[in-house]
Structure 1
């Protein structure tokens, strides 16, 4: 109940984006491998940002 108005941290937002991109990359890799690889690369960029934020803390 009280968590309803809690804002997500930058790391939580990036983790949600990473999860979405990875599932999309998996779906695309079954149909179009090059598009799936491109989504996977985007997801890796997000993961690097997450690791940088966690390393800075």
Structure 2
């Protein structure tokens, strides 16, 4: 209830985006290899941003 109006930090946003991209990567890995690789590349970029932000 109290977290209803709490704004997400940049790290939380990046973590959520990374989780979504990895989910897409896993889902696409069985059907469309090119799209799967693209989703993984995007997830890797988000992971690098997240690492840079936490350091």
| TM bucket, shorter chain | over 0.9
SS at match of 1:23: helix
When the two chains are superposed, the root-mean-square deviation of aligned CA atoms in Å is 0.6
Matched residue, 1:32: 32
1:46 and 2:42 are equivalent in the alignment:
no
* Alpha-carbon offset, residue 35 of structure 1: 1.1
SS at match of 1:4: coil
Q: How many residues align?
A: 55
SS at match of 1:21: helix
Gaps of 5+ in 2: none
Q: Distance in 2 between matches of 1:32 and 1:17?
A: 21
TM-score, length of structure 2 as denominator length: 0.95
For residues 36-57 of structure 1, give each alpha carbon's deviation from its aligned partner in whole angstroms, at most 9, with x where no partner exists. 01100000000000000000xx
Tell me which stretches of 4 or more aligned residues in structure 1 moved more than 6 Å: none
> Which structure carries more helix by proportion?
1
TM-score, length of structure 1 as denominator length: 0.92
Matched residue, 2:11: 11
